[in-house]
Amino acid sequence: MGGKGYTGEKGIKYAAHLVYRYLPVTENWIYSMVSRMKRYHGVFLATRTENLDKFPWDPVVAVREKSLPYQVIEKLHKEWFGYFRLHLQAIEKYRVSLIHAHFGTRGYYGLPLARKSRLPYLVTFYGYDVSAVPGKRGWRERYRILFDEATLFLTEGPHLKNCLIELGCPEEKVVVHHLGVDPEKIPFKERKPEKTIRILMAGGFVEKKGMHLGIRAFDRLKEKNTELWVVGWYRKDEPRHIRGASLIFSAFKEAKKKDKIKFLGYLSYEEYMRVLEKCHILLAPSLTASDGDTEGGAPVVLLDAMASGMPVVSTLHADIPEVVVDGETGFLVPEKDVDALVEALEKMINAPSLWKKMGKKGRQRIEKEFNVNIQAERLERIYDRYA
């Protein structure tokens, strides 16, 4: 194929988005970004589908509909990722202008598709694919091949960009592109002290979220009129989730304030927004997990909370300092330091006069630098260089 892609009605081009599953709820930022692009319509190329009711899209072209364990996928990657008959047909049908792979592992497995189509090939790294995957057998060499052949690499922030360069990616091939949320859909609310101060933690039950340390820090707070609300979930077929959940429930079992800790489970985005509005402080104690997994960039829950006017207590981890400005939109402490988390939480709880200032500055930062509408436009401008 090669060359410039097809420009359809009203100047619309097509960009293929290569993913494994379309689409886990933990990867909703991909849908959020692609759905707001105005000049490039997304063609999702997946190995299987899920949550089509939550993320309706057309077209989604899936090789397989049923779920298979990751180990089986590894063995079948030559069949699935080596030929991509259905995916090639979709690329030809929509006269796709470029391919954008999400996650470095997917980027590597998508190389045969990029070679066959001869299209510009962009790959976004998100975290685990940079911090943990290179330590697995064979992956440094695989990444070396990917770095050599792909057109461009995107990262959420400068920390992740530097990590990619340290792995051997040419610096001139890496561009920082922030994720984003839609501030217009997140009501701003000035946080004010109430009889009970509600602290929120949210995310998948994986070790890197540090929720087990968050529970321990909360349990040590001197302030009695506080509650910890935990929004989260875990996959019973995913080892990282199983370990993360085990750490969380172990910390909860040891806690003295069990009656003050509320597990809310998985919530829809609308339900989560209502919980967000009721809480006063976001606690995001992210860390480097025992298997090397990191946030890479920064958790999207930080963006939601700051957009809503909530002050944040988080860690000096990955690209979190790119989002949270220490002392201005929240407090940042060293990762894995429970004492520092306790100190920062007590400082925040006892200084409600800071909430208004931090909340306002946090909202402004999201509107300017992490607004999904602005970031979608910036991504389109990146596409324009190659499509």
70 pLDDT higher than 60: no
Confidence of residue 65 (pLDDT cuts 50, 70, 90): low
Confidence of residue 200 (pLDDT cuts 50, 70, 90): very high
Q: Each residue of 241-250: b (16+ CB within 10 Å) or e?
A: bebbbebbee
pLDDT of amino acid 86: 85
Average pLDDT over residues 371-380: 98
The SS3 assignment for 209 reads helix
In whole numbers, what is the pLDDT of the chain averaged over residues?
92
CA atoms within 13 A on the CB side of 285: 26
CA-only gyration radius of the chain, Å:
21
**Could you check whether the bond before residue 187 is cis, i.e. omega within 30 degrees of 0?**
no
Q: pLDDT per residue over 252-298, tens digit each? A: 999 999 999 999 999 988 999 999 999 999 999 999 999 888 998 89
Q: What angle do CA 200, 278, 294 make, to 5 degrees?
A: 25
pLDDT of amino acid 51: 93
Helix then strand count (H, E) for the chain reads: 17, 15
342 pLDDT higher than 50: yes
Confidence of residue 348 (pLDDT cuts 50, 70, 90): very high
Percent of the chain, pLDDT > 70?
92
381 pLDDT higher than 80: yes
User: Any residues with CB less than 8 A from the CB of 309 and at least 6 apart, and which?
Assistant: 188, 189, 190, 191, 359, 360, 362, 363
Q: pLDDT per residue over 236-247, tens digit each? A: 878 888 999 999
The residue among 339, 314, 349, 318 whose CA lies nearest residue 329 is 314
Q: What residues pair up with 314 in beta bridges, in sequence order?
A: 284, 332
pLDDT of amino acid 8: 57
pLDDT of amino acid 3: 36
315 pLDDT higher than 60: yes
